[in-house]
Amino acid sequence: RSFDRQMPEEINRLVTDALADLLLTPSKDADKNLLREGVNRHKIKFVGNIMIDTLLNHVEKARQLQPHIKYNLKEKQYVFVTLHRPSNVDNKKSLTLIINHLTTLSRKIPVIFPMHPRTRKNLIAFALQEKINKAKNMIITDPIGYNETIGLVDKSTFVLTDSGGLQEETTVLGVPCLTLRHNTERPVTITQGTNKLTSLEILEKDLAELFIGNHKKGRIPRLWDGHTAERIMNIIINSD
């Protein structure tokens, strides 16, 4: 739960959970949310995070790719960025501010930014394309695949994103993460992991702090161990 009903995803989550006979949760805070909404506790099963099964299945292959070498980057000496949410990229003022901060950051450390089509379209519409093209050490790429993404995240100094999944993946990989959003449906990545919410008002400060190494180490949440699918299968097989 993000507790933001302006997000279509939040409405979809609420409706799906209301219709479900079995609710399989990734963390204990999710159990509490469901109980608070009146879900029968017997329908709730804490199983861990299925997305982490995928991550742990692919991470060695991703590391073997060594995608940072493809972009002439050195391990733990670059920043990985993904931004695509309307609140960040559909507004000229906010996107301009973000690009200004990233341009400043790129003077200190290389920044690799696989760019979502929505973001690229708005860069052109807001006449920001030339600015980012001239930025020193700013590497703009087309969208990239899962293994390449994980390989780049794993070897990065830190990540700036507005993605949901990257908040979880960085926590498991032990990579500091700044999430440019007002809220997150993955609060366990903040309370236990390596994630921190940021905003346009404090983004410059937060980027500077991570650049000098000021970040929490975090830990991997319980049952984020790559065996969630097995637990799900056993629960389904043994359910009435």
CA 167 to chain CA mean position, Å: 3
Concerning whether 84 is annotated as a catalytic residue, the answer is yes
Query: Rounded to whole angstroms, how far apart are CA atoms 122 and 151?
Result: 27
Burial 67-80 (b: 16+ CB within 10 A, else e): bbeeeebeeeebbb
Tokens of 17: 């959970």
Among residues 42, 58, 68, 84, the one annotated as catalytic is: 84
Half-sphere exposure of residue 49, counting CA atoms within 13 Å on the CB side?
A: 24
Q: How far apart are CA 138 and CA 145, in angstroms?
A: 20
Known catalytic residues are: 84
